[in-house]
Amino acid sequence: MELKPTILIVDDDQAMRMLLERYVALFGYRSLLAADGEEALASRENSEIGVIILDVIMSGISGQQLAEQLKILLPNAPILFCSGHPATALARQGIDIKGAQFLQKPCRPPELKQRLSEMLAAR
Q: For the chain, which residues make up each domain, given as ranges?
A: 6-122
pLDDT attached to residue 65: 87
Sequence-distant (≥ 6) Cβ neighbours of residue 43 within 8 angstroms: 8, 32, 34, 49
> What's the pLDDT score for residue 58?
84
User: Is this prediction's pTM over 0.95?
Assistant: no
The domain made up of 6-122 is a member of CATH 3.30.70.240: no
Tell me the average pLDDT across 52-75: 88
| Cα distance between residue 76 and residue 56, in whole Å | 20
pLDDT at residue 96 above 90? no
Q: Is the pLDDT of residue 100 over 70?
A: yes
Distance CA 110, CA 94 (A): 30
Which of 45-49, 62-66, 90-94 holds the top average pLDDT?
62-66
Kindly report the backbone phi and psi dihedral angles of residue 10, in degrees, each rounded to the nearest multiple of 5, phi listed first: -120, 110
CA distance 13 to 59: 10
Query: In b/e form, how buried is each residue of 82-92, taking b as 16+ CB within 10 angstroms?
Result: bbeeebeebee
